[in-house]
Structure 1
Amino acid sequence: MSDVLQPIIVVRKKKHGGGHHGGAWKVAYADFVTAMMAFFMVMWLVATMPQEQLGGIADYFKNPSAVAGTASSMAAGSNGPGGAGDVPIKMFDHIRNPPGAGPAQGADEVAQAARDLADRERLEALQRALEKAVASSQALAPFKDQLLIDITPEGLRIQIVDTHNRPMFDLGSPNLKDYTTQILVELATYFNQVENRIAISGHTDNTPYTGVSGLSNWELSTQRANAARRALVTGGLQDGKLSRVVGLASSVPFDKTDEGNPINRRISIVVLNNAAERSAAEVNDAVAAVGPQAGAPLPGDARPGASADIGPSADALPAR
């Protein structure tokens, strides 16, 4: 019997799927992220650079040659405006030293910013100490609902407000209640812990003052602010730490929806920050340089009974 050759059949399985592509996508993604970072860096530089430098750079790239051009500012080199520069462009000079400011002025601004930051941290520490005292001190805890403490653009503000059952002053009078004096004497010890000066302002509600003929809420609020000053001095506050004492009557109500609310009758004490002191000093210098003119009212004369009020009051500014 002869052997019969059988055909050999090879079955190959068809592979499905894309298989492994390696890490090429990672390289592409990294390039994309790098490009986006470069894009945002360019946008930031464009947004912060002065216009004259932008014009110079734009014209520089329009004509990057050694031939004199017509750029709005000189290129950083010896080939004239619009030509190729031979030294790096100082792109960050305007950040360290603003236009028109020399190196010394830029350094002074950095130092001033550091002092302002330290000043704010000092006031925030004082705020925490006062809030802790209000919560635990036998002298202040009973009045925690009448002591309002916050940070304003002028500094740390402490407001002592009236309530329906516990006024700070005798009715229609600048005479302090005994417990109000106790609060102010206690606060004085905290104000002496910082070098900042303070400003005191008195406030009334909109009920007309019916005291001595010719007097109004302006006089009453000023007298109450001065009474608070005397109590603080009695508590040991150094007289040189006082910046201003003013009366604002009912012009800056705490409750604007109900100007007859007892909470509008209050004493506001602001521990002034460095920026507020500088602003007041600049105004004082400007007033001194101009001098009083004939017929012109002196600061504070616009409000009958108010003492000189230099600079904006923290009570007229929103809290932060």
Structure 2
Amino acid sequence: MTSKKKLLSISPFRRNVSPIWLTVYSDLVTNLTLFFLLVYAFTRLGVEQRNEITFWLSRTFTKTGTAEVRAKEIIKDLQHQQTKEKIEELTQTEQFSKYAQLEMNEKLIKITLKAPVLFDSGSAELKSQANEILDEITPLLKLLTQNIIVEGHTDNIPIAGGKYSSNWELSSARAFSVVDYFVRKKGIKPERFVIAGYGEFRPIAPNDTEENRAKNRRIEISILRTGEQ
């Protein structure tokens, strides 16, 4: 009887059996690793690819409302993180920090550009320096999918001759030039844009000094955040 017990205790079949908790733990670690790899891969995708995955996840989890909501929350968090990173990159560039300003709230992300950097006086043709700063803004516009409002503003000094008869017309033409650059040169979808020209009628400073008038000569690019998916 004693010899049988000793044989059983040294049996190779008993020595190689793993506890059940170790098997469960290994599966958990493997699944977590795969999950984080998928999350990382998702952050490297383009906007259209992410939208396709969002649609697929929504269709997949339609029967389980909780899972569908959670999938959307994960994707939304990733998009917000990417937006934050792009904004940080943009504001640290030399051209942007020198000639532009960024504001952000729950409704929109607004980029204000100084008009003298983009255009010569009385002109709506983009300067070469304008291309550089618009190129820096492009990655942020491509990352997001919401509509974009581009507004042109001027000071209150009347236009004396030239191609445009009023500041209103000039501000509209300048806004169009910016949108045209993003669409034709950078491939952003035209249906996302709204163009507005306000002339001298929406100043951000009194038009009583040259410094204040320079503040009023500007282009505002607003990315709407309402209705984010």
TM range (shorter): 0.5 to 0.7
2:88 is the counterpart of 1:131: yes
2:95 is the counterpart of 1:145: no
Letter in 2 for 1:211: G
Query: Secondary structure at 1:271's aligned position in 2?
Result: strand
CA distance in 2, matches of 1:225, 1:187: 15
Q: Select which of 211, 218, 221 maps to 1:266.
A: 218
1:1-320 mapped onto 2 (5 Å cutoff):
122=79, 125-136=82-93, 141-152=94-105, 154-162=107-115, 167-212=117-162, 215-256=165-206, 258=208, 260-275=212-227
- CA 1:185/1:132 → structure 2, altered by over 3 Å: closer, same or farther? closer
Query: Secondary structure at 2:101's aligned position in 1?
Result: strand
CA distance in 1, matches of 2:216, 2:76: 30
Query: Secondary structure at 2:172's aligned position in 1?
Result: helix
Q: How many residues align?
A: 158
Structure 1 runs, 4 residues or longer, greater than 4 Å off: 118-125, 257-260
- 8 A contact 2:154–2:171 mirrored in 1: yes
Query: Secondary structure at 2:195's aligned position in 1?
Result: strand
| Bigger relative CO (Cα 8 Å, ≥ 6 apart) | 2
Residues 243-262 of structure 1, C-alpha deviation per residue, up to 9 Å, x if partnerless? 31010111221224747521
Higher helix share: 2
Alpha-carbon offset, residue 121 of structure 1 = 8.3
- CA 1:143/1:273 → structure 2, altered by over 3 Å: closer, same or farther? closer
Residues 177-226 of structure 1, C-alpha deviation per residue, up to 9 Å, x if partnerless? 11112211332232111121211111111111223487100000000000
- CA 1:177/1:273 → structure 2, altered by over 3 Å: closer, same or farther? same
Identity of aligned residues (%): 25
Letter in 2 for 1:131: E
Q: RMSD across aligned C-alpha pairs, in angstroms?
A: 3.3
Indicate the structure (1 or 2) with the bigger Cα radius of gyration. 1
- 8 A contact 1:255–1:263 mirrored in 2: yes
- CA 1:125/1:210 → structure 2, altered by over 3 Å: closer, same or farther? farther
Residues 47-90 of structure 1, C-alpha deviation per residue, up to 9 Å, x if partnerless? xxxxxxxxxxxxxxxxxxxxxxxxxxxxxxxxxxxxxxxxxxxx
Alpha-carbon offset, residue 123 of structure 1 = 5.7
Residue ranges of structure 1 left out of the alignment (5+ in a row): 1-110, 276-320
- 8 A contact 1:158–1:269 mirrored in 2: yes
CA distance in 1, matches of 2:76, 2:155: 34
Query: Secondary structure at 1:220's aligned position in 2?
Result: helix
- 8 A contact 1:196–1:241 mirrored in 2: no
- 8 A contact 2:151–2:196 mirrored in 1: yes
CA distance in 2, matches of 1:149, 1:120: 21
- 8 A contact 1:198–1:243 mirrored in 2: yes
CA distance in 2, matches of 1:214, 1:157: 27
TM-score, with length taken from structure 1: 0.42
Letter in 2 for 1:193: L
CA distance in 1, matches of 2:135, 2:126: 12
